[in-house]
Structure 1
Amino acid sequence: MAGSRSVVMGRPREFDIDEALERAMLVFWERGYEGVSLTDLTKAMGITKPSLYAAFGDKKELFRKALERYTEGPGDYGTRALEEPTARGVAEAILRGAVRTTTRPGGPAGCLGVQVALASNEAARPAHDMLVEWRNTSVRRVEERFRRAVDEGDLPRDADPGQLARYLATVTFGIAVQAASGLSRDELQEVADIALASWPPPGVRPPPPGRPG
């Protein structure tokens, strides 16, 4: 919908939907879900509450759209990483992408997904549940890519693709938490380099009986 504009009922001026959604994404990214009110969102987006409801639905649906925008924008390094020709290339692209995205100059620190996932208030449950599925989907896609790497001989036959995917996700989310806590890009890159120093990680267990690969 790039460049789309919407005329809001009962309001004479127009607003750019993409620009408003980008601003909403940044607010959620910086402040989480439960820490943001509709007033905060409408102020940042430059629209009224009726305009928000008409264009995006309620707060939950606005967050869903913001998460999609994040996944296709700043967070697309995860999708692009799966196109790397080797499992190590996938791991390196994911970790380096996480470092870059969570330490963008002039942008919110950390990861939108992690910021919201740390919420504990019941009011944030809809966003929390969305992010559980978002993270699980990401891990499954990496696992599938690593399973292919085992089949192709790029990873050892006794490597467990699921364990490797979970390991990588844990390091990635850890980078995001540390970025939100103030660690610099150089410091976080050192963490990524340590994780990549031995690939696959030592002590990777073979898959349980009955699982292929």
Structure 2
Amino acid sequence: MTTKQRGRPRSFDRPTALEQATMAFWEHGYETTSVSDLTRVMGISAPSLYAAFGDKKALFEEVVESYAVNYGAYGGRAFAEEPTARGALGRMLVEAADVFTDPSHPRGCLMISAATNCSNPEVEEALRARRASNLASFEERIRRGVDAGELPAGTDTGTLARFYGAVLQGMSQQARDGATRAELEAIGETAMRAWPTAGGPDGVRQATRSL
């Protein structure tokens, strides 16, 4: 009698599986992406998913971290590399237009769209906290611009940060609705015309022409 040997569990490429999960959550959001959807696109069984990533919420948390590094880092780069606050915010919007419409992945921003109709308060709050952190970084960069004399001393840095945050969120939804990269870039250019400058109205027009 032949004894059947127990086979080893099928291995899988973890980074590839995480990327596939990222695409699923990005396209469909947290709420409507089921565990069966995830196991199908990742090519693994439910027990393997739980063993490798934990539950759906834990997997999504890892997806968000991966997304921030691989797709959402354009803002941080712009803020680190551009010498002016206006240059940093303007570049962020231009690069967002590129990322949001890249045909190699779902449209828009995962952190903006993934919590739509989400019934998990912890997931919703985690994404809200990330968006709030982004707004805080906008305000901090704008405040540095005020201190450097790039913007008027009385600039409402909080409101200006929220304005560009709203533009970014709107661009994400526009991308989900089919807007082209050129159309989103035009939105960004229009938004930058609202940028206050220490030089007054003439300075605004000159800065707009140089964008």
TM-score (norm 2): 0.85
**1:86-121 CA deviation, whole Å, 9 max, x = no partner?**
0111111211121111100232111111222322x4
- Picking from 68, 71, 75, the partner of 2:72 is 75
**What's the counterpart of residue 175 of structure 1?**
171
The residue type equivalent to 2:83 in the other structure is: P
The residue type equivalent to 1:174 in the other structure is: G
The residue type equivalent to 2:142 in the other structure is: F
1:197 equivalent to 2:196? Answer no
Query: How many pairs does the alignment contain?
Result: 191
- Picking from 14, 19, 36, the partner of 1:17 is 14
| 1:25 Cα deviation from its structure 2 partner | 0.7
The structure having more radius of gyration, on CA atoms, is 2
**What's the counterpart of residue 90 of structure 1?**
88
Equivalence map 1:1-213=2 (5 Å): 11-83=8-80, 84-119=82-117, 121-122=118-119, 124-200=120-196
* Contact in 1 for aligned 2:35/2:56 (Cα 8 Å): yes
Q: Quote the Cα distance in structure 1 between the aligned partners of 2:93 and 2:170.
A: 11
Percent identity between the two aligned chains: 45
* Contact in 1 for aligned 2:112/2:169 (Cα 8 Å): yes
Q: Quote the Cα distance in structure 1 between the aligned partners of 2:124 and 2:95.
A: 23
Mark the CA change 1:192 to 1:11 in structure 2 (over 3 Å): closer, same or farther: farther
The residue type equivalent to 2:168 in the other structure is: T
| 1:11 Cα deviation from its structure 2 partner | 4.9
* Contact in 1 for aligned 2:29/2:114 (Cα 8 Å): yes
Q: Quote the Cα distance in structure 1 between the aligned partners of 2:77 and 2:49.
A: 32
**1:155-199 CA deviation, whole Å, 9 max, x = no partner?**
211112211111110000000001101111111111111112342
Q: What stretches of structure 1 of length at least 5 have no aligned partner?
A: 1-9, 203-213
* Contact in 2 for aligned 1:110/1:177 (Cα 8 Å): yes
| 1:153 Cα deviation from its structure 2 partner | 1.4
* Contact in 2 for aligned 1:29/1:115 (Cα 8 Å): yes
TM-score (norm 1): 0.84
Question: What RMSD in Å do the two structures reach over aligned CA positions?
Answer: 1.7
Q: What stretches of structure 2 of length at least 5 have no aligned partner?
A: 1-6, 201-211
* Contact in 2 for aligned 1:116/1:127 (Cα 8 Å): no
